[in-house]
Structure 1
């Protein structure tokens, strides 16, 4: 069985004007849901959470249910479109242990963000034989991005980065993250785009940008869209989802490059998974 949880957040608390709102994430969520139907997902097996429904408890509870109820042979998808950020990972001994990437639910300002550690805890319970695709169209760090040269046919007035600036304490540690990592003899993260093989990873991660970049949204074909999701879904629809991961990754990368996007997508999985078809 094919099942999915799709999350899109334009409206950040408080409801209505006032939060760090975005414009293209609901369009992204709609496109992803419709694209998955074309790729063989039954509409009844697709759960969508948007805006005020996309709270931290809701996202975590529905994701836990999606993972726990899946059995060998299932193909499941978790998709998120919205703001991202980075936060300091501070241990019980108050030592800094690197930076966590995080997504921002609708109520992040009161309930908190959802860290990569939260996802790891859920995904660790994934049963053997279940295929999981994790797709993030959000920013993974706070470096400055250049304006995009999208050509005369695209309206740049709506362009926006999907990034929540970190709090001062997180920003400070992020600034010195490389020194902290070096002092702990941690592995350096790749700063170049690639299919990144990760040993023992039990899912495939599709990231809209590298860790050092922000992900952008802007006007595409008359709608505000996340640039990554727009091309990702367009390619999936054109192939009905009958495409191997490394080909999908390459075609999305080429599409982003052709439009002059400042972001570079990155895909992580087991080496063998790159040559296999998505959703199988």
Structure 2
């Protein structure tokens, strides 16, 4: 897998804003896995803006917001988070990353997170699990990698695509060796794979068919899991493979790439990360809160699924019992007198010049001097360190 560089940055109103702490990711095949004496927290985060036919603008922002949340709120080690962004997010790289980082490394009792922000689609499955009784066709939800674009001719006349079927995601999730698994899918039709506003959907439909390569990959995983086709279908129809899945939409709905206060992000992911920075939560509470926040005009209703027979919807989010204290801003860069903040748990529009934040321990503070999108610069007083979580003074 290619290295990821500092060009994968927050975008705000058409400009890029540097965020500190986005470390380069080494090739997965060169990673050395050290013996662990305590459960690990592993995450794979995928964000794709640079689709050729229908670019998006908030998916890499989603990925960065998720990464900072996992590190500074939920205690993930940065080295245990793999980011696959834009041109690196090919079908093969995504599948390799799931296999190498989550399937091969996660052990029973570990925490695992899979996040995807990008286009979704509905395409024809030649061997469908569900068939529409009116059309006789079987359309399946997919995740769209960077290399699964469609030409206008293909859309009109038909063709095959290198998407990743929701059915394939089911098999991959089943192979991860921990029940403490959370998948967050911020794409159109994501509920079938179990944002100025731009839709996170690529064209599909009955004329577009999934590639034979994808079906062959499924067959490989059926053999590895020791499942017959019938057993796979029965398991899929019962519910998700394991853990928790949070989808941005119901199966037939569209997810939105949303122009917010000076930046673009997923309508779902942005509200999810805001909620989790502000309070301790469970998947059930988070989904209920986000459903109440998303404007009705968006016609986007997030969906929660948990493993059948489990109470995982009531468990602490990401299955992390010892989450750190929440906050409203994160110090991502500092000099002797000034700091750069990422506004993570507060509406950026409420942050004005002169707004004061303090550290949770109240040993230091900052006073805002300027803001652009999610990034604010501030004057430091007292002791402030990079990575410090802050709250508005007096809150």
TM-score range, shorter chain: 0.7 to 0.9
Q: Does 1:138 align with 2:190?
A: no
Q: Distance in 2 between matches of 1:52 and 1:32?
A: 19
User: What corresponds to 2:95 in structure 1?
Assistant: 60
Structure 1 residue runs of 4 or more that deviate by more than 3 Å after TM superposition: 197-201
1 CA distance for matches of 2:164 and 2:277?
Answer: 30
Alpha carbons 2:147, 2:162 under 8 Å: kept = yes
Match of 1:269 in 2: 306
Which residue is 2:121 aligned to? 85
Between the aligned partners of 2:174 and 2:241, the Cα distance in structure 1 is 9
Spell out the pairing of 1:29-44 with structure 2 (5 A cutoff): 29-37=63-71, 38-44=73-79
Q: What does the per-residue CA deviation read over 1:207-257, in whole Å, with 9 as the maximum and x for residues that have no partner?
A: 001011100112112101110011000011112xx3222111111111114
The size of the alignment, in residue pairs, is 229
Cα deviation, 1:112-159, whole Å, max 9, x if unaligned, reads: 1111122122122122x4311111111008xxxxxxxxxxxxxx9x31
- 1:46 & 1:63 partners in 2: Cα distance? 12
Mapped pair 1:47 → 2:63: no
Per residue, is there more helix in 1 or in 2? 1
Specify the SS of the correspondent of 1:169: strand
Indicate if the aligned counterparts of 1:82 and 1:137 stay in contact, CA closer than 8 A.
yes
Normalised by the length of structure 2, the TM-score is 0.54
Q: Distance in 2 between matches of 1:251 and 1:22?
A: 26
Structure 1: 5+ residue stretches without partners? 14-18, 142-155, 172-196
- Of 249, 271, 278, the match for 2:287: 249
Residue 28 in structure 1 maps to residue 57 in structure 2? no
Once residues 117 and 277 of structure 1 are traced to their aligned partners in structure 2, the CA distance between those partners, rounded to angstroms, is 27
Equivalent residue of 1:124, what SS? helix
Q: Name the counterpart of 1:217.
A: 257
Matched, 1:73 2:109: yes
Match of 2:165 in 1: 115
Structure label with greater radius of gyration? 2
Contact 1:71 1:130 in 2 (8 A): no
Q: Please state how far the C-alpha of 1:199 moved relative to its aligned partner.
A: 4.8
CA distance in structure 2 between the partners assigned to 1:75 and 1:163 by the alignment: 30
Distance (Å, rounded) in 1 between the aligned partners of 2:118 and 2:127: 27
Q: Does the Cα contact within 8 Å between 1:198 and 1:269 map onto a contact in 2? A: no
Provide the secondary structure at the position in 2 that maps to 1:86. Answer: strand
What is the rounded CA distance, in whole Å, between the counterparts of 2:147 and 2:266 in structure 1?
21
Q: Distance in 2 between matches of 1:166 and 1:210?
A: 17
Q: d(CA) in 2 for partners of 1:209 and 1:200?
A: 16
* Aligned partners of 1:39 and 1:237 also within 8 Å: no
The structural deviation recorded for 1:272 is 1.1
1:109 Cα offset (Å): 2.9
Structural mapping, 1:178-193, within 5 Å: none
Residues 42 and 68 (structure 1 numbering): CA distance in 2 closer, same or farther, change over 3 Å?
A: same
Question: Structure 1 residues 167 and 22 mapped into 2: Cα distance closer, same or farther (>3 Å)?
Answer: same
Q: TM-score scaled by structure 1?
A: 0.75
| CA distance in 1 between partners of 2:141 and 2:300 (Å) | 17
- Say if 1:207 and 1:267, in contact at 8 Å, map to a contact too: yes
Superposed CA deviations along residues 38-78 of structure 1, whole A, max 9, x for unmatched, are 22111111110111011111100001121221001111111
Task: Tell me if the contact between 2:174 and 2:241 (Cα under 8 Å) persists in the aligned partners.
Answer: no
